[in-house]
Amino acid sequence: AQSVTQPDIHITVSEGASLELRCNYSYGATPYLFWYVQSPGQGLQLLLKYFSGDTLVQGIKGFEAEFKRSQSSFNLRKPSVHWSDAAEYFCAVGAWQAGTALIFGKGTTLSVSS
């Protein structure tokens, strides 16, 4: 079955500390992988995506993610967290075939402490 698992429901990080949000996927086809962020009351904004090539991808707001095929993982990282990063983060997987829908994980809520 196709699925995305985000093992951490809620994470609290001190401002300025590093962050890693975990994502594991199960997908029968070659996966396209995404991280989205949702601020309270807002829609989902794309942080970064992986289609092919370099397995370390850079995104907006200083985020990066690394695709590890052997571990079926696509973890999101940021070296130094800012208070404005507090939000809910969603990992998603899709297929290469045109127009297929994304499957989302249940999300990880990030709180940033001062």
Partner 1 sequence: DSGVTQTPKHLITATGQRVTLRCSPRSGDLSVYWYQQSLDQGLQFLIQYYNGEERAKGNILERFSAQQFPDLHSELNLSSLELGDSALYFCASSVVSGRANTEAFFGQGTRLTVV
Point out which residues bind partner 1 (CB under 8 A). Answer: 32, 34, 36, 42-46, 49, 51, 90, 94-107
Beta-carbon contacts of 36 under 8 Å, excluding residues fewer than 6 positions away, are 44, 45, 46, 47, 89, 90, 92, 104
Q: How far is the CB of 40 from partner 1 (least distance, A)?
A: 11
Choose between 96 and 113: whose C-beta lies nearer to partner 1: 96
Choose between 45 and 111: whose C-beta lies nearer to partner 1: 45
Beta-carbon contacts of 68 under 8 Å, excluding residues fewer than 6 positions away, are 55, 74, 75
Q: How far is the CB of 16 from partner 1 (least distance, A)?
A: 30
